[in-house]
Amino acid sequence: MLKINNLNKTYPNGTQALKNVSLTLENGMFGLLGPNGAGKSSLMRTIATLQMADTGSIHFDDIDVFKQPEELRKVLGYLPQDFGVYPKVSAEMMLNHIAKVKGITNAAERKGYVADLLNKVNLYKFRNRNLGDYSGGMRQRFGIAQALIGNPKLIIVDEPTAGLDPLERNRFHNLLSELGENAVVILSTHIVDDVTNLCKNMAVFAQGEILVQGNPQELSDTLNNKVFRKSIEKGTLETYNESHTVLSNYLRGGSLNINIFSDENPGDDFEPINNNLEDFYFYTINQKQA
Ligand code: ADP
């Protein structure tokens, strides 16, 4: 179990990236959803022992993360946002190298271990290909493979699906949810659908604060019968913004639509819709800004 208690972090330039962040996470996939600049990476890096918080504590089972960072690193798998690859090195060589660094010293054992990993992420066929020649999806799966070395009990995945085509994204998701069966997996993302599809629990994070947390479906259901849609004339959005709680605007069949929050049916050609987690997410962010 991962217990995060009252983390605060202000960067030297005065940006307060974490404000009293507290969370408790159990095995399974947890979605941390928030806009760019919310502080997600700051939180991920802090949990991954790459930077310190100013105050607060993190415990993973018996490990006091700030006091025993090297203990945490033994059970941690980290897939960072900007996972750089060495373009001229093959996947097999790279994994072999990381496994060695992580303490698998016996060469024969390591070879078998790396082969298993490559199979797991469906890259065995491409093991000798240089990482620089991998597609976006292959690179992500390689990222997962390197994060899995050492059988981690805590896995941190920071904004993973950028640049993946739908098929690659599906594969990546299946792999992630398998991992969640035996580990705490934190998925940090601004893509609402990923959280809907993958996570049993989630938090909405904005301006360095946890705004709300719970089960995605249950959170989404709190807005049932309170979200309405209307197709509007381009150029009238501002008027609606002034008179209604507009959650989102988007094109649908080429015309501009808005979703609004309202306790009562607002009439005026608004129609009730089957609301989803995205409406809830925008509502939560909207309330914070109000
Ligand atoms: P997210 O991952 O949700 O996009 P970040 O944690 O990257 O958010 O950033 C949170 C805030 O902290 C932003 O305002 C960002 O500009 C700022 N920030 C992030 N890293 C640093 C840093 N090393 N120094 C100063 N400010 C930073």
Which pLDDT tens digit goes with each residue over 204-233?
999 999 999 999 999 999 999 999 999 999
C-alpha 77 to ligand 1 mean position (Å): 22
Residue of minimum CA distance from atom 10 in ligand 1: 39
Q: What pLDDT is attached to residue 154?
A: 96
71, two tokens: 């203990």
The reply to whether the predicted model has a pTM over 0.75 is yes
Any atom of ligand 1 within 6 Å of the Cβ of 28: no
CA of 69 to the centre of ligand 1 (A): 22
Q: What's the CA-to-centroid distance between 97 and ligand 1, angstroms? A: 31
Residue 82 above 70 pLDDT?
no
The DSSP-derived string for 246-264 is EEEEEEETTEEEEEEE-SS
Residue located nearest, by CA, to atom 16 of ligand 1 = 37
**Best probe residue, ligand 1, of 41, 43, 210 (max atoms within 8 Å of C-beta):** 41
User: Is pLDDT larger for residue 174 or for residue 183?
Assistant: 183
Alpha carbon nearest to ligand 1 atom 12, residue: 17
Distance CA 256, CA 33 (A): 26
Q: Is the CB of 284 under 6 A from ligand 1?
A: no
Contacts of 43 (CB under 8 A, 6+ apart): 7, 18, 21, 32, 188, 205
Ligand 1 pocket residue status of 37, Cβ below 6 Å: yes
φ, ψ of residue 237 to 5 degrees: the values are -55, -45
Token digits for 288?
């914070």
Q: Which of 128, 61, 52 is nearest to 89 (CA)?
A: 128
- Among all chains, which residue has been given the structure tokens 């991920």? 44
Cα separation values, 147 from 35, 98, 121, Å: 25, 10, 11
Residue 226, Cβ neighbours under 10 Å: how many?
17
> Sorting pLDDT into bands at 50, 70 and 90, what band is 80?
confident
Q: Check residue 230 and give its pLDDT.
A: 96
Displacement of CA 134 from its chain's centroid (Å): 23
Q: How far, in Å, from the CA of 37 to the mean position of ligand 1?
A: 6
